[in-house]
Structure 1
Amino acid sequence: MLSPTRTRATLLSAGAAVAALLAGALSPGVAQAAPAAPVAPPTTPHESCRPDGLYKTPGVDVPYCSVYDTEGREKMGADHQRRIIGYFANWRTGKDGRPAYLASDIPWDKITHINYAFAAVDSANRITVGTDGPNNPNTGITFPGVPGAEMDPSLAYKGHFNQLTKFKKQHPDVKTLISVGGWSDTGGYNDDNGNRVNSGGFYSMTTNADGSVNQAGINTFADSAVAFIKKYGFNGVDVDYEYPTTMKDAGNPLDWQLANGRRAGLVKSYSVLMKTLREKLDRAGAADGKHYLLTVAAPSSGYLLRGMETFQVQQYLDYVNIMSYDLHGTWNEHVGPQASLFDDGKDSELAGANVYSTAQYGGIGYLNTDWAYHYFRGSMPSGRINVGLPYYSRGWKNVQGGTDGLWGKAASTTCPAGQNLTKCGDGAVGIDNIWHETDTAGKEAPAGFNPMWHAKNLEKGIVGDYVTKFGLPADTKLTGTYVRKYDSTLVAPWLWNAQKKVFISTEDEQSIATKADYVVDKGIGGTMIWELAGDYRWNAAKGQYEPGDTLTNLMYQKYKTATPYGNKKTNIALPAEAVKVDVELGQFALGDSNYPISPKMKITNNTTKPLPGGTEFQFDYATSAPGNAKDQSGFGATVIRSDHTGNNNIGGLKGDFHRVSLKLPAWQSVAPGASVELDFVYYSPTSTPSNWTVAFGGKTYSLAGDLARGVTIVEPTDGSGPGGPGGTCTNPAWAVTGEYPANTTVSHKSRNYKAKWWTKGDEPGASQWGAWQDLGAC
């Protein structure tokens, strides 16, 4: 997401919140042709460094070891056990009279990655940062007289890009990624004069007007992105596409007219985009001897994720950055923390949608960081996930009810122009909104949007000397007292001004320290920050807070001696041999119609052996959904283990997975190359199920589609070869003239069968619908 006014048209109103509980899809792997013989893992040293679950471009020796160690963990420097990813915003140049935040202000020794915000998709489907020239902040601007901001004369470009390259030479462990999109630039871009061009951006680049995949547009963009990062020295691409979801009116309201007509095709085309980028980056990396990163900023909202099926693109990503903020804001009247770590069972928005009282959904509150983390943990190792932290506030005025404003309401019917809302929250303004954006009519957009350094000054009763730079009078005075409040269950601080009825959701040392401890304890890869310019330090000479690195340094101190992050998708031991039996979930209903979540689960046998009746599948799905998934097709899907139980998630989900078992019906076999479908149902969003096993012929295998490290892809045995598992052919041979009562056992063509009912003349194995149950090889 990422960009000042994240009013994000997730629009989690009470009505939309019900929908938010109902999403997901499950689909590990795409069907692949079966090999003629067992295939061992590649012997190249680079394969030993591939992260668990990361897709590898076929036929390419991807140089993973340039970025990862032999355990598949990212190499970031001896004092960086976890990622600290900071977004750097290109518009804070100081040229507009407001405080600058330049590359020289970045705490380079404390962070591991910089995401540069933002590039866009132009009208020709290419990546763009505008036309080169002296006023271009990315490639042309200079900062004469600013210590530390001198240009590197050896580079062919100036601007922020010059500065990033210069400082990377001094800090070679820090990686930079170009972030494309964001709230403002997903569906268009601003031209060199600052005028918006409604080009369609990601929406039209990936998806044609009829909903089909725009492969030509995707190829053009991916080729331009590869050339771009090579030209400017970036280490990868970060896709901030907001949002490829089927939920109507999601994302920037300026994009709705074009995006809504393409909703049915967005998820598929998003997957094609990410696969194409992954493969082109892999090929470029192999040629250049370095692995290029591909990451995304992913939503944390259950509403948005409900329309993204099971986030199948996770397999193409080095890691995912969860935008675990903007969970409450002035797009509706509900007043609460924008980035709480946990649920407290009292969220007024969720309560209004009967989330807590509906047993079917397990009473699970989903507007919190812990829920979002567990959603992605269902399909990714914890180390390939980073949780997002806001270095900015959101706030309301005229708050009614609640406890010191918490879970109160602040309704307004005067919404910012261009948001296409008929009802919104009463956002804080003026001194409580200094980082404000303007609406499409050029007026201040009320949102309580402030850097943390300004929020700290409000808390201490200080009017900083910078307020005139944000359009406020020099004699500005504070009204009332901003009292810091903190809820330890939510892990959320806020400022409450009882006189003004102003509630400002914040972050500070206590909340960030607790979240950093959570990251370490869960084995999470690290944290992502929007944005670095919001951090603070105390300026004793001026007696005020200013931009600094207090919160970032706190995380650095927490992480530098932490244990290595989690590098496995599974929490259990899985077989070392994998077969090409593929599973995908599809045919999801679109938007608000996907209730309950009931896709088709398609099992495809890409081995050379049949899957007999009784073949058992097991898999894990995330505890972001309650442990009550089922099938409606007679496959007996049963949750056999739950890491989280209970009718809520107050204080956090207790574990990562529910494990499901289902079996092919006794009469149902799946021939090589054939598929079978079942109706699967679950009740809250969850990402792609993983950690699959399949058991038949007396042996259990993993599935190749999980992309696990260290497995060998084999052809399964059916017991007919030497030493193979199975029964013995001591049962009487089937005879075409024989009469067989129910439960009679026979042997035929090296397999045992049992009669389901009285039969004569029906050949065993001739039909999956026939009278005989396949008992396996003998």
Structure 2
Amino acid sequence: MDKKYVAAYIRQNGLERMTKEDALKITHLNIAFCKYNDEGKLDSKVKNFHILDKIKEWNPDLKAIISIGGWSNGGYSEAASTEESRKAFAKEAVEFMIKHNLDGLDLDWEYPCCSISGIKSSPNDKENFTLLLKAMRDELNLQGEKDNKYYMLTIAAGADKYYTKFTNMGEAQKYLDYIMLMTYDLRGGFQILSGHHTNLYSPQGDIFTISADEAVKIFVEAGVPAEKLLIGAAFYSRKWDKVPNVNNGYLQVCGTTGAFGPDYTELDREYINKNGYKRYWDDVAKAPYLFNGSSFISYDDEESVKYKCEYVKENNLKGILFWLYDADETGKLLHSISENLEA
């Protein structure tokens, strides 16, 4: 069996606290984020690229990749709109990559043909998205010929039919090394119905039936080989408040939407079977949740991550990604991923 990938999204704080033990458990490090600034140039909030030298000394096989985009970061519809703008974007991105001694590019355009995050979009994004990826792959190949090195190109993709509807994934995947399915935030910020936000399987009785398993099937049906897919784990939670004390808070119409909740560091310290919160397990969805009588929290833990790893191996997927390394100072979730992917 081929070695499975463990792709970790990381920000500045994460780079500062990365340990040798953790670096050896990760295969790909996605540095978040690089985006367009007000001058229309690529810029990054991360200032600790020099730390990568030490991390790569610990794990010479690790690939460091810059992630371009993220929620509410725009400019990509415009960049993809013409052949000239696509080539300019690709050239600038590769120059940024080389400047910081990185191994590839990851495009997190959220989302083509859609302005939900407050960015500009166009119906032409569907075709232009593929053309932008081709331009990026061509520029990476040119740089690779100069450096005698292969540079990677990946994307993070929304894990539902809207994403395959707004893109031509069967064509786009030809230019990509792998596709990371964001199988977290499957519900939350837009829903007042409590439930799982990072479940492996679709739960019973839930009108929002999307899951990691469903996402994989959607992308395979759209023409993406299973061996190019990674599914996501969440090192943070979604939390609903003003929840009716019925059915342990599960599938209840709440007084709030599912906002971002505590990260796993805080969950482990203050919430899981503590301070009035009780952990419950959904054996159909393979997902845990917490309830204290009025607040419902959906999250990933060591057990749910184990099932995701088993799914990756059983279905010949490329591996697992997670958001966000910075969010678990206990190291428990990464340890579970590393242990169970290799088992």
Per the normalisation by structure 2, the TM-score is 0.92
Q: Which residue of 2 aligns with 1:689?
A: none
Q: Any residues of structure 2 matched to 1:392-411 within 5 Å, and which? A: 392-400=236-244, 403-411=247-255
Match 2:297 to one of 482, 504, 511 = 504
Q: Give 5+ residue unaligned stretches, structure 2.
A: none
1:394-452 C-alpha deviation (Å, 9 max, x unpaired): 0100113752111111145xxxxxxxxxxxx2x5xxxxxxxxxxxxxxxxxxx142111
Cα drift, residue 304 of structure 1: 3.9
Q: Whole-Å Cα distance in 1 between the matches of residues 172 and 21 of structure 2? A: 31
Q: Whole-Å Cα distance in 2 between the matches of residues 316 and 402 of structure 1? A: 48
Q: Any residues of structure 2 matched to 1:424-463 within 5 Å, and which? A: 425=257, 427=258, 447-460=259-272
Cα drift, residue 101 of structure 1: 5.1
Cα drift, residue 169 of structure 1: 2.5
Q: Which residue of 2 aligns with 1:178?
A: 66
Q: Which residue of 1 aligns with 2:110?
A: 242
Q: Whole-Å Cα distance in 2 between the matches of residues 559 and 327 of structure 1? A: 23
Matched, 1:525 2:318: yes
Q: Which residue of 1 aligns with 2:92?
A: 224
Q: Whole-Å Cα distance in 1 between the matches of residues 307 and 278 of structure 2? A: 21
1:268-311 C-alpha deviation (Å, 9 max, x unpaired): 22111101001110121122111100000000033343333556
Q: Which residue of 1 aligns with 2:54?
A: 166
Q: Whole-Å Cα distance in 2 between the matches of residues 448 and 380 of structure 1? A: 30
Cα drift, residue 165 of structure 1: 1.9
Q: Report if aligned partners of 1:402, 1:409 keep a CA contact under 8 Å in 2.
A: no
Q: Report if aligned partners of 2:310, 2:340 keep a CA contact under 8 Å in 1.
A: yes
Letter in 2 for 1:558: N
Q: Which residue of 2 aligns with 1:50?
A: none
Matched, 1:372 2:215: yes
Letter in 2 for 1:455: L
Q: Whole-Å Cα distance in 2 between the matches of residues 303 and 205 of structure 1? A: 21
Matched, 1:298 2:110: no
Q: Report if aligned partners of 1:297, 1:322 keep a CA contact under 8 Å in 2.
A: yes
Q: Any residues of structure 2 matched to 1:72-91 within 5 Å, and which? A: 81-90=3-12
Cα drift, residue 373 of structure 1: 1.1
Q: Whole-Å Cα distance in 2 between the matches of residues 239 and 516 of structure 1? A: 24
Cα drift, residue 533 of structure 1: 1.5
Q: Report if aligned partners of 2:108, 2:157 keep a CA contact under 8 Å in 1.
A: yes
RMSD (Å) for aligned C-alpha atoms: 2.2
Larger helix percent: 2
What is the DSSP-based 3-state SS (H/G/I as helix, E as strand, rest coil) of the residue aligned with 1:326? Answer: coil
Q: Whole-Å Cα distance in 2 between the matches of residues 215 and 105 of structure 1? A: 43
Q: Whole-Å Cα distance in 1 between the matches of residues 291 and 284 of structure 2? A: 18
Identical pairs, percent: 27
Cα drift, residue 534 of structure 1: 1.8
Cα drift, residue 524 of structure 1: 1.1
Q: Which residue of 2 aligns with 1:337?
A: 196
Matched, 1:314 2:314: no
Match 2:24 to one of 109, 113, 123 = 109
Q: Whole-Å Cα distance in 1 between the matches of residues 19 and 7 of structure 2? A: 16
Equivalent pairs counted in the alignment come to 342
Per the normalisation by structure 1, the TM-score is 0.42
Q: Any residues of structure 2 matched to 1:184-195 within 5 Å, and which? A: 184=72, 186-187=73-74
Letter in 2 for 1:483: K
Match 1:204 to one of 70, 78, 82 = 78
Cα drift, residue 119 of structure 1: 0.7
1:70-115 C-alpha deviation (Å, 9 max, x unpaired): x9x6xxxxxxx2111111112x38xxxxxx9534477111111100
Letter in 2 for 1:180: I
Q: Whole-Å Cα distance in 2 between the matches of residues 531 and 241 of structure 1? A: 18
Q: Whole-Å Cα distance in 1 between the matches of residues 112 and 20 of structure 2? A: 34
Q: Give 5+ residue unaligned stretches, structure 1.
A: 1-70, 74-80, 94-99, 131-136, 139-159, 188-200, 207-212, 351-364, 413-424, 428-446, 463-477, 536-546, 562-778
310-319 vs 223-232, which deviates more? 310-319
Provide closer, same or farther for how the CA distance between residues 528 and 332 of structure 1 changes in structure 2, counting only shifts above 3 A: same
Q: Which residue of 2 aligns with 1:515?
A: 308
Cα drift, residue 530 of structure 1: 0.2
Q: Report if aligned partners of 2:272, 2:290 keep a CA contact under 8 Å in 1.
A: no
Cα drift, residue 118 of structure 1: 0.7
Q: Whole-Å Cα distance in 2 between the matches of residues 522 and 461 of structure 1? A: 33
Letter in 1 for 2:77: Y
Q: Which residue of 2 aligns with 1:118?
A: 33
Match 1:548 to one of 330, 334, 338 = 330
Provide closer, same or farther for how the CA distance between residues 240 and 103 of structure 1 changes in structure 2, counting only shifts above 3 A: same
Matched, 1:286 2:158: no
Q: Whole-Å Cα distance in 2 between the matches of residues 106 and 220 of structure 1? A: 39
Letter in 1 for 2:53: T
Q: Whole-Å Cα distance in 2 between the matches of residues 401 and 346 of structure 1? A: 18
Letter in 1 for 2:192: E
Q: Report if aligned partners of 1:340, 1:368 keep a CA contact under 8 Å in 2.
A: yes
Provide closer, same or farther for how the CA distance between residues 409 and 106 of structure 1 changes in structure 2, counting only shifts above 3 A: farther
Q: Report if aligned partners of 2:181, 2:215 keep a CA contact under 8 Å in 1.
A: yes
What is the DSSP-based 3-state SS (H/G/I as helix, E as strand, rest coil) of the residue aligned with 1:393? Answer: strand
Letter in 2 for 1:458: E
What is the DSSP-based 3-state SS (H/G/I as helix, E as strand, rest coil) of the residue aligned with 2:98? Answer: helix
What is the DSSP-based 3-state SS (H/G/I as helix, E as strand, rest coil) of the residue aligned with 1:107? Answer: helix
Q: Whole-Å Cα distance in 1 between the matches of residues 76 and 169 of structure 2? A: 20
Q: Report if aligned partners of 1:297, 1:323 keep a CA contact under 8 Å in 2.
A: yes
Q: Which residue of 1 aligns with 2:280?
A: 485
Cα drift, residue 121 of structure 1: 2.1
1:647-687 C-alpha deviation (Å, 9 max, x unpaired): xxxxxxxxxxxxxxxxxxxxxxxxxxxxxxxxxxxxxxxxx
Q: Report if aligned partners of 1:125, 1:205 keep a CA contact under 8 Å in 2.
A: no
Letter in 2 for 1:205: A
What is the DSSP-based 3-state SS (H/G/I as helix, E as strand, rest coil) of the residue aligned with 1:340? Answer: coil
Larger radius of gyration: 1
Q: Report if aligned partners of 2:26, 2:62 keep a CA contact under 8 Å in 1.
A: yes
Q: Report if aligned partners of 2:154, 2:179 keep a CA contact under 8 Å in 1.
A: yes
What is the DSSP-based 3-state SS (H/G/I as helix, E as strand, rest coil) of the residue aligned with 2:110? Answer: coil
Q: Report if aligned partners of 2:23, 2:58 keep a CA contact under 8 Å in 1.
A: no
Q: Whole-Å Cα distance in 1 between the matches of residues 171 and 215 of structure 2? A: 16
